[in-house]
């Protein structure tokens, strides 16, 4: 366990092997993978906040992570449900069989701080600048390094197109057992035209039964603008709990605004944030699901790939690591083109108040297809099946969206 969050001091004559800037999901998992798979690597992860991982909850389907990679998550205490999950729409209700997992950032921080050597973590430490030779901290100190990995948050770009996923969730302690056996991944039976401070949007409620008497309820919107009225969303969460007869008190809360990418010039967007000789990872490097905004499966895959590359190539330069990560990012961008096209269908072909129809159409399909979709491994038959049948949007609008470059992503700071 770390006694002091800033206890690390690198000798001038011995540059670190790796400095990871940003101790969120991507940076924390890279640190963990280096610790486990490259034991001789002298690394440090620096984080501006007081904890690793910030204040988030990450969830994923168990099959999103290949079996060979799941061991990286073995040290974390996860919430898990093997009974499948529920979805609810105005004209559709189903239970799908895929197991589901969830990780709270408090547990992410606890587990990493327990496993990583104390000198490998620097909390409440801000980076002023990054370059191929190391990191200069806000207090003027210099961390010399052979390799630098930039895992800071996603930065909106004028070169990208899409919309936003806006959400606010609250963790409740209930007076009595809530009675839920499975997660509710999407309850879209809620009012689709209810104002939320961001215009019309596709709305659904996401529910996780964390224990017999604890439940996490999140109000989520696929919106055109990165804006949130937190008070309105809190009210909607409370209203949902009341409708289900749950008398609860709030014990935690999180909120976020994530990009839903529908297109753009990836090379130009990357050039805006890239630093010569510095590797890009995490959402800033483009590693997310374009439609769902999921990041954890890609963070696991990247962390293991980076750690094993460094273990295999101890002489790997920072420039070579940066090129390695850039190649992976370009492959990921190409591999997820289909999902960006579906994002354009959602934001351009469907009227905001009727976007629910698009998701209802999708969730009526076979469970295995839905499973592969979330994992980003849709087969060509899957892709054709999603686009066949009675179209959930007007055909002329769908054709325009198909050939569109997408609505420019709002580059204002999310509010």
- In order along its 415 residues, the chain shows pLDDT tens digits of 344 344 444 444 589 999 999 999 999 999 999 999 999 999 999 999 999 999 999 999 999 999 999 999 999 999 999 999 999 999 999 999 999 999 999 999 999 999 999 999 999 999 999 999 999 999 999 999 999 999 999 999 999 999 899 999 999 999 999 999 999 999 999 988 666 655 678 899 999 999 999 999 999 999 888 889 999 999 999 999 999 999 999 999 999 999 999 999 999 999 999 999 999 999 999 999 998 889 999 999 999 999 999 999 999 999 999 999 999 999 999 999 999 988 888 888 777 777 888 888 899 998 899 999 999 999 999 999 988 876 566 656 666 666 676 677 877 766 6
CB 300 within 8 A of CB 65: yes
Give the β-pairing of 18-21 and 148-150. parallel
What pLDDT is stored for residue 50 in this prediction?
96
Domains identified in the chain and CATH numbers: 18-75+102-157+265-335 (3.50.50.60), 160-262 (3.30.70), 339-402 (no CATH)
What pLDDT is stored for residue 314 in this prediction?
92
How big is the CA angle at 312 (ends 73 and 118), to the nearest 5 degrees? 50
Distance, in Å, from the CA atom of 273 to the CA atom of 248, rounded to the nearest integer, reads 43
What pLDDT is stored for residue 408 in this prediction?
76
Whose CA is closest to 189, among 320, 322, 57, 91?
A: 91
Distance, in Å, from the CA atom of 141 to the CA atom of 304, rounded to the nearest integer, reads 30
What pLDDT is stored for residue 361 in this prediction?
87
What pLDDT is stored for residue 2 in this prediction?
40
What pLDDT is stored for residue 3 in this prediction?
40
What pLDDT is stored for residue 225 in this prediction?
86
Whose CA is closest to 149, among 285, 48, 13?
A: 285
Distance, in Å, from the CA atom of 220 to the CA atom of 51, rounded to the nearest integer, reads 25
């Amino acid at each position: 366990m770390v006694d002091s969050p800033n206890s690390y001091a690198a000798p001038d004559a011995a540059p670190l092997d790796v400095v990871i800037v940003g101790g969120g999901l991507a940076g924390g998992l890279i640190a963990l993978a280096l610790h486990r798979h490259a034991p001789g690597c002298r690394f440090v992860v620096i984080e501006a906040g007081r904890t690793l991982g910030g204040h988030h909850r990450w969830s994923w389907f168990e099959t999103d992570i290949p079996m060979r990679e799941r061991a990286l998550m073995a040290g974390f205490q996860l919430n898990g449900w093997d009974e499948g999950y529920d979805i609810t729409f105005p004209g559709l209700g189903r239970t799908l069989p895929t197991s589901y997992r969830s990780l709270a950032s408090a547990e992410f921080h606890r587990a990493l701080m327990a496993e990583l050597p104390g000198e490998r973590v620097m909390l409440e430490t801000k980076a002023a600048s990054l370059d191929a030779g190391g990191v200069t901290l806000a207090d003027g100190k210099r961390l010399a390094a052979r390799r630098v990995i930039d895992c800071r948050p996603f930065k909106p770009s004028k070169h990208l197109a899409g919309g936003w996923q806006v959400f606010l969730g609250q963790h409740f302690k209930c007076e009595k057992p809530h009675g839920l056996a499975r997660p509710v991944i999407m309850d879209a039976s809620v009012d689709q035209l209810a104002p939320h401070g961001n215009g019309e949007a596709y709305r659904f409620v996401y529910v996780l039964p964390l224990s017999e008497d604890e439940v996490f309820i999140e109000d989520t919107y696929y919106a055109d603008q990165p804006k949130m009225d937190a008070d309105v969303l809190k009210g909607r969460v409370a209203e949902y709990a009341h409708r289900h007869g749950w008398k609860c008190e709030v014990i935690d809360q999180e909120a976020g605004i994530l990009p839903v990418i529908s297109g753009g010039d990836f090379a130009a967007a990357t050039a805006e944030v890239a630093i010569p000789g510095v590797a890009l990872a995490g959402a800033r490097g483009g590693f997310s699901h374009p439609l769902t905004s999921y990041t954890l499966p890609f963070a696991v895959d990247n962390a293991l790939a980076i750690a094993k590359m460094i273990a295999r190539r101890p002489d790997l330069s920072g420039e070579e690591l940066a090129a390695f990560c850039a190649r992976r990012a370009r492959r990921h961008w190409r591999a997820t083109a289909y999902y960006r096209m579906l994002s354009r269908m959602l934001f351009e072909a469907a009227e905001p108040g009727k976007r629910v129809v698009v998701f209802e159409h999708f969730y009526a399909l076979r469970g295995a297809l839905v499973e592969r979709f979330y994992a980003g491994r849709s087969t060509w038959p899957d892709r054709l099946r999603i686009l066949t049948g009675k179209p959930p949007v007007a055909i002329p609008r769908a054709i325009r969206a198909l050939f569109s470059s997408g609505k420019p992503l709002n580059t204002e700071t999310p509010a």
